[in-house]
Each structure stands twice: as structure tokens, then as C-alpha cells.
């Protein structure tokens, strides 16, 4: 059988040549959604970069599609949920552009320190203003790295060669792992206070959007320099512009923007801001690497094998689906909830399978699904059942898995305990029927929680008035409470409150709830 592959974005020729040795390849770029829908039914695989929007409509039209490959890291332009529903493997090439992004970061840092783009533009206008472009040395400066994944570590390695001192923030890298690389892990507020140069290498998620803002900039050193070659939106561009205007920020180098192209960004007209049009992965070598990677993965999948960097791996092997899937679905949601309830740097994860869950034929698979639920939402690199354990190990996170006959009054139970450098938190869940799974315990307090939607979870002193005050605050911001549970061990001591709500809770409301007398901790989570 001769397979057909559609390449709908420009792809390095090296990747296309590999594909041509295996399948009939059509390169047709610039297609509209309607055009893609009209033609995709003839193809077994689709390879894209960032230009093609692979919507649910496109995927549903791809009757023969078995594989969608992204030549690069980000898959924001692919409806992975729609692909998963159709059983289509989606894979990317996250490592191919690591060095390109690293080197671009270093180029931006050096250019920022020595005002190279500004000096170049001045000289080309016929000016000779040496004193205007006085720079600073990076030697002995403190570099703060936000996000210590592949790119962050490569940046650290090169900055150390220039005798910079490296501090980093990443809640999923242990102190021991960082120390082995000669890097000091610090809380984010400390990084902001101490660093002379701050470079961003985190994903754009709810917790990182505008994490660099007017308030955090105010805590930084006078004359700090900021670099973002990761994702637009991590830096509040208006706050950055104000910081530069005031002199608090000496300069910034941006490769990514909140809106691209950044036609209305307030930073574009500032002399002390260096900008490039999202060039982090734009090297010949990087484009070759990602093209070759995604081409080889495409061939492997079409040949009946696996892809190395699966983004949406099928939930479970087909032969175990009926038995394992309910546990896997519950486990991923438990992991997602647990990571939102923790604070600090994750050090270890303990997973216990009890009762009938201990007899599952594939607990290792469920464990990987748990890791995906915990790590995928907050890491730059995609986490899936293929690489989950590797990703955890790479970050120095200890993992243990045990089985026991004890199920604490349930037929089956899965318990996850996460230990960070600040706290220990746990979540347990049970499956009573294929379509009926519940979270039955949080932090040792009994619950009966449907694992879906938004929840507000607090620990508080068991005394009158606290629950009512929290409910009043939620009502004032038009957040409807769908359900409420309270667990306690003894009257008058600590209790756990779980509020199921119909929508996300504004940050201001959560801050107000946290200030209620008697509230110890409160978290908003989306399961």
C-alpha cells in the first residue's frame, strides 16, 4: 500500500526527501480551511508548521488520517482533542530547535548588554556616537532563568562559560539536580530581586501570563535587563514600557509578543528595546532537524510503529481499554488537581494502587497518565505517556509505585501523594463503574467529588461563619456554587471545604477569600 502525505507549510527539503522514499508526498502551502477540508480526505498524514490551522473541521474531513506532525514544538494550531477522538496520532519535534532558541537567547542578551542593534542603526545613518552606546559586561552578573527545561539549561551552560552566576526558578527541578549543574534554585520573588538579567523560558499558562508586570518589575534591581524568547504574554508589555520609561528597566530584548505581529505594542518605539520577529527557531539547522524528526515519526506511525514525541497518545492500549480506561481517565484528572493544590518545588510522587486497582494489568500505564496530568500543564515540553517518566527523572523528581490489598472501604482506590520542598499533599480516587469515578479524599479528608470543572478548596478552622463568608464573596462576583462538601476529623479543629463552582473564580475574589479570618489556605483549581 502506498501512503499519501500532505505537507501544508514550508518544510525543509531534507524532511521531504525522507518522506518521498516511503510515500507519495504533495507539498501544497497556503491552503485555506475550506481548501484543506476539500483535499485532506485523500491523505494518510498531514505535516505542518505554525501556519496551518488544523481545526476539528479539517480533522473530521480526514477520513484516512492516521498522523498529524508538527515540525516544531508548539501545537496550538492543532485541535489535539479532535484528533484524539478520531484516534489520530499527533506528534511534534520539541528538541529540534532547542539549540536555535538557546543561541538566539544568547545573541539577544549580548546585543542587549552592548547596544549592538542601536549602534549599528546609528552608524549606518552616518553618526559616530560612541559614548551614547556605552554597554555593560556580563561577567560576574547574575542571570535569572525562569524555567529550567531543555532551553533554560542550555542557556545556563553558555552563560556559565562567560562567568555569569546562575540562579533559576522552576518548581519541577529539584535542588539536587540544579546543584549538579552549578545552578542555584530560588523562589521566583527572590529571582526577581537578585538578577541583573532575567530570561524567560516557561510556557504561557494561566500562572505565567503577565507574571512579569508592574508589581514584579518594581521588586527588581534598578537597571535590570529582560529577555523573552519563549512565549508572548509572559511579560506585560505596557508594564515593561513603563519600566523602561522610568529607568527601572535598563533594556529588554523580545522575540515574542502578546499579539503577533505586534503592530500596537507599546515597546516597539522604545530605543532600549531590541525586537526580532519570532526568530527563535529560525535557523537552517533547526528547520532541518524538526523536518527530519517529524518525517521519521510519520513513517514510523504509518508503518505501524510509535512516534517519539506523541502529544496525544491514545489513552490506553486497545486490548486493555475496557478495564483500564476508567482508571486512566480518573488518574489523569487526579494528577491535574493535585498539582494545582501544591506549592513549592516538586521533589517526589508516590502512587499507591489499592484493592481491585492493584490487580490492573497496566498500572505502569496509569502511572504515566498521572505524570502527564501533573506535569503537562506547567512544562514547556509536552508530556505524554511515552516520555512522562523520562521527564520526571530528568527533573530529579523521585517516583514510587506500590500496590496493596487495602482499599480503605472502597472496592478500589488510587492514591497520589506529592511532596515538595514546602508541603505534602495527597488525592485519592475510586472507580465504582466504568462511567462513575470519584475523588474520595483530599489531604486525608473524605470527599465525594466529581472530577470535572472548577473547584475552590480551602483548609480552615472549623467554626461558624467561614463557609458563609466565602459563599458571599463568590456570589458577589457572580460565581455560582453547584455543590459543597466539608470534611473534618474533630469539631473545632482544621476542616476541608470543597466548593464545586460553575466558572473560574477571579483572582481578586480568591485573594479576598484567603483573607477571611480562620482560612488557612485556599486554592482554585480546574480539573
To the query of whether residue 260 is one of the catalytic residues in this protein, the response is yes
Separation of alpha carbons 170 and 189, rounded Å: 12
- Which member of 231, 336, 368, 524 is catalytic? 231
To the query of whether residue 278 is one of the catalytic residues in this protein, the response is yes
Separation of alpha carbons 327 and 331, rounded Å: 6
Exposure string over 499-527, b if 16+ CB within 10 A, otherwise e: bbbeeebeeebbebbeebebbeebbbbeb
CA 406, 407, 413, 415 torsion-angle sign:
negative
CA 327, 331, 334, 336 torsion-angle sign:
negative
Task: Say if residue 22 is exposed, middle or buried (CB neighbours under 10 Å; 0-12, 13-18, 19+).
Answer: middle
What are the backbone angles phi and psi of residue 341, rounded to the nearest 5°?
A: -95, -10
What are the backbone angles phi and psi of residue 503, rounded to the nearest 5°?
A: -155, 170
To the query of whether residue 158 is one of the catalytic residues in this protein, the response is no
As given in the structure block, the three cell numbers for residue 419 are: 511532596
CA 442, 448, 452, 457 torsion-angle sign:
negative
Coil, helix or strand at residue 146? strand
- Which member of 127, 176, 260, 508 is catalytic? 260
Q: Sheet holding 184-185: strands in order across? A: 184-185, 165-169, 142-146, 197-200, 224-228, 249-254, 273-275
- Which member of 70, 278, 336, 345 is catalytic? 278
Separation of alpha carbons 92 and 196, rounded Å: 35
The half-sphere exposure of 508 on its side-chain side, counting CA atoms within 13 A, is 3
Catalytically active residues, by annotation? 231, 260, 278
Amino acid at each position: 500500500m502506498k501512503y499519501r502525505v500532505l505537507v501544508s507549510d514550508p518544510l525543509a527539503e531534507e524532511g521531504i526527501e525522507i518522506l518521498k522514499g516511503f510515500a507519495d508526498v504533495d507539498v501544497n502551502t497556503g491552503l485555506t480551511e475550506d481548501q484543506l477540508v476539500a483535499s485532506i480526505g485523500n491523505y494518510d498524514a498531514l505535516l505542518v508548521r505554525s501556519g496551518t490551522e488544523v481545526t476539528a473541521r479539517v480533522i473530521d474531513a480526514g477520513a484516512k488520517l492516521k498522523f498529524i506532525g508538527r515540525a516544531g514544538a508548539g501545537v496550538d494550531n492543532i485541535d489535539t482533542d479532535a484528533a484524539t477522538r478520531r484516534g489520530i496520532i499527533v506528534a511534534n519535534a520539541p528538541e529540534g530547535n532547542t539549540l536555535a532558541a538557546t543561541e538566539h537567547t544568547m545573541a539577544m542578551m549580548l546585543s542587549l548588554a552592548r547596544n549592538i542593534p542601536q549602534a549599528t542603526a546609528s552608524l549606518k545613518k552616518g553618526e559616530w556616537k560612541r559614548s551614547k552606546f556605552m554597554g555593560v559586561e556580563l561577567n560576574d552578573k547574575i542571570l535569572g532563568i525562569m524555567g529550567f527545561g531543555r532551553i533554560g539549561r542550555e542557556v545556563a551552560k553558555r552563560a556559565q562559560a562567560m562567568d555569569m552566576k546562575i540562579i533559576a526558578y522552576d518548581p519541577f527541578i529539584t535542588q539536587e539536580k540544579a546543584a549538579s549543574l552549578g545552578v542555584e534554585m530560588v523562589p521566583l520573588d527572590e529571582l526577581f530581586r537578585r538578577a541583573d538579567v532575567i530570561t524567560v523560558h516557561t510556557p504561557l499558562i494561566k500562572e505565567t501570563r503577565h507574571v512579569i508586570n508592574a508589581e514584579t518589575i518594581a521588586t527588581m534591581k534598578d537597571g535590570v535587563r529582560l529577555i523573552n524568547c519563549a512565549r508572548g504574554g509572559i511579560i506585560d508589555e505596557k508594564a515593561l514600557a513603563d519600566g523602561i520609561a522610568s529607568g527601572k528597566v535598563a533594556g529588554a530584548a523580545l522575540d515574542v509578543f502578546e499579539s503577533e505581529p505586534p503592530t500596537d505594542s507599546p515597546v516597539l518605539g522604545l530605543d532600549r528595546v531590541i525586537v526580532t520577529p519570532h526568530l527563535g527557531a529560525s535557523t537552517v539547522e533547526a528547520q532541518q532537524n524538526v523536518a527530519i524528526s517529524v518525517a521519521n515519526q510519520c513513517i514510523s506511525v504509518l508503518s505501524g510503529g510509535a512516534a517519539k514525541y506523541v502529544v496525544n497518545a491514545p489513552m490506553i492500549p486497545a486490548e486493555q481499554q475496557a478495564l483500564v480506561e476508567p482508571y486512566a481517565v480518573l488518574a489523569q484528572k487526579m494528577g491535574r488537581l493535585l498539582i494545582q493544590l501544591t506549592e513549592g518545588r516538586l521533589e517526589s510522587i508516590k502512587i499507591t494502587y489499592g484493592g481491585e486497582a492493584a490487580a490492573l494489568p497496566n498500572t505502569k500505564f496509569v502511572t504515566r497518565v498521572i505524570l502527564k496530568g501533573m506535569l503537562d500543564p506547567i512544562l514547556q515540553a509536552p508530556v505524554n505517556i511515552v516520555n512522562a517518566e523520562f521527564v520526571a527523572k530528568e527533573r530529579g523528581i523521585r517516583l514510587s509505585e506500590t500496590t496493596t490489598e487495602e482499599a480503605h472501604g472502597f472496592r478500589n482506590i488510587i492514591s497520589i501523594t506529592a511532596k515538595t520542598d514546602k508541603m505534602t499533599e495527597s488525592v485519592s480516587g475510586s472507580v465504582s463503574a466504568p462511567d462513575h469515578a470519584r475523588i474520595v479524599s483530599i489531604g486525608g479528608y473524605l470527599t465525594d467529588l466529581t472530577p470535572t470543572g472548577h473547584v475552590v478548596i480551602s483548609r480552615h478552622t472549623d467554626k461558624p461563619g467561614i463557609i458563609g463568608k466565602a459563599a458571599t464573596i463568590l456570589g458577589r462576583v457572580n460565581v455560582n456554587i453547584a455543590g459543597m462538601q466539608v470534611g473534618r476529623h474533630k469539631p473545632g479543629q482544621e476542616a476541608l471545604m470543597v466548593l464545586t463552582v460553575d466558572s473560574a473564580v477571579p483572582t481578586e475574589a480568591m485573594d479576598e477569600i484567603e483573607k477571611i479570618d480562620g482560612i488557612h489556605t485556599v486554592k482554585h483549581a480546574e480539573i
